[in-house]
Copies of this chain bind each other. A is one copy, B any other.
Amino acid sequence: MRQPLDPDMFDELCPSALSPFRVGDKWAGMIIRCLEHGPRRFSELRVPLRGITAKVLTQSLRALERDGLITRTTHDEPVRRVEYGLTPLGRSILGPMAVMCDWAQEHWEELLEAREAFPPLGHAG
């Protein structure tokens, strides 16, 4: 320890930039989890993602599709049907995500408590 930090440590091209906190947008993680147990339709995804608008959901899905994490399949039956599912690459991130979510579950309260105890001084209002 105490060795100097590598200035190139977080070079723009370093995969670390894909750190756990910033792989995708606000909804990316939740969408992936929604697809964990099989493909889902556009309108099915809007149910658990309450509040998401069609536009934003489309944007997020396109981004995930572009990154090779999900697939989009259209079935033009009597009524239009579009299904989204995980690619192998998409499935491969479920493990790491579960690890992070487990951490969150386990330490969620600690984090909230720390927040309430902060700042140590000055609690007007």
Name the interface size band of chain A: 35 or more
Cβ contacts under 8 Å, A30 to chain B:
9-10, 16, 19
| A125 on interface, CB distance cutoff 8 Å | no
| A56 on interface, CB distance cutoff 8 Å | no
Instruction: Identify the closest chain B residue to A3 (Cβ).
Output: B37
Cβ contacts under 8 Å, A19 to chain B:
29-30, 33, 97, 100-101, 104
For this complex, 15 residue pairs linking A to B, each with C-beta atoms less than 8 Å apart, are A2-B38, A9-B30, A10-B50, A15-B105, A18-B101, A18-B108, A19-B33, A20-B101, A23-B100, A68-B110, A68-B115, A89-B107, A93-B103, A95-B99, A96-B103
